[in-house]
Chain A
Amino acid sequence: NAGVTQTPKFRVLKTGQSMTLLCAQDMNHEYMYWYRQDPGMGLRLIHYSVGEGTTAKGEVPDGYNVSRLKKQNFLLGLESAAPSQTSVYFCASSYHSTENYGYTFGSGTRLTVV
C-alpha cells in the first residue's frame, strides 16, 4: 500500500522554466490537495480538488495550475517558475469530508528555482 506518492522528490529549475509535479494516491480518496511549506512558515494551500474533474483555488494559487483528470492523480504545474516558488511542496488526500480521518500526506518535493 503506497499511500500518497509524489514525483519527483527533488528538482532544480531555472527561472522561467516550466514543470509538473505529480501526486498519485491508491486509497480511492475523493479529495486531494497541494500545499507549500516555506522555512519558518506553516503550510499554505495552493489548490485542491474534491473529485475527478474538479479543482478549486486555495490561499496562494497565483503562478500555479492544477488538473485532476483521473481520481488517483493530481498534477501541479508551474508555467514559468520564479525564485519565490522555491519551496517544499506536499500533496495530501482524504476521504469525503476530513472530519474522521484527516489527511494522508506524501513525502514532499523539494523545488529550487535559480
Chain B
Amino acid sequence: GNSVTQMEGPVTLSEEAFLTINCTYTATGYPSLFWYVQYPGEGLQLLLKATKADDKGSNKGFEATYRKETTSFHLEKGSVQVSDSAVYFCALSAKGAQKLVFGQGTRLTINP
C-alpha cells in the first residue's frame, strides 16, 4: 500500500540555520505530494504541494521538489525563523484517491 516516511524528530535549530526535513514515499504510479504545517494549538495548513515529477512547490521561503527517481519530497528552507517552529507533515494522494496518506510528522523548534 501507499505510505509516507518522514525523518524522526524533534529537530532543533538556531535561527537563520538551513533546514531540511526528509520525506520519502511508497506508492503505485505517480502520486501528488504535499507538505502541511501545524502551528501550536492550531489545525494543519497546506504549506506547498507538487502534482507531478520534477515539480517544485514553494511557499513562505520553503521549497520541496518532487523526485520520482528517489521517491522523495524533502522540505527545505534557507534561513529559518523562530516563527517557523511547528510540526510538519508530509502527505501523498494517489490519482483518484479519496484520502491523503500522512507521515508521522516532524516537530521543529527554532531557538533565537
Contact = CB atoms under 8 A, between A and B. Distances in A.
Interface of A: 4, 31, 33, 41-43, 45, 48, 50, 90, 92, 97-100, 102-108
Where chain A touches its partner, the secondary structure class is loop
Where chain B touches its partner, the secondary structure class is loop
B81 to A, nearest CB: 23
A100 B42 CA distance: 23
B37 to A, nearest CB: 11
B34 A102 contact: yes
Interface of B: 31-32, 34, 36, 42-46, 49, 51, 89, 91, 93-100, 102-105
Given A99-B31, A99-B97, A100-B32, A42 B102 contact: yes
Nearest to B97: A98
Given A99-B32, A102-B91, A50 B98 contact: yes
17 contacts: A4-B43, A41-B104, A43-B89, A92-B44, A97-B96, A99-B51, A99-B94, A100-B51, A102-B46, A102-B49, A102-B91, A103-B44, A104-B46, A105-B36, A105-B45, A107-B42, A107-B43
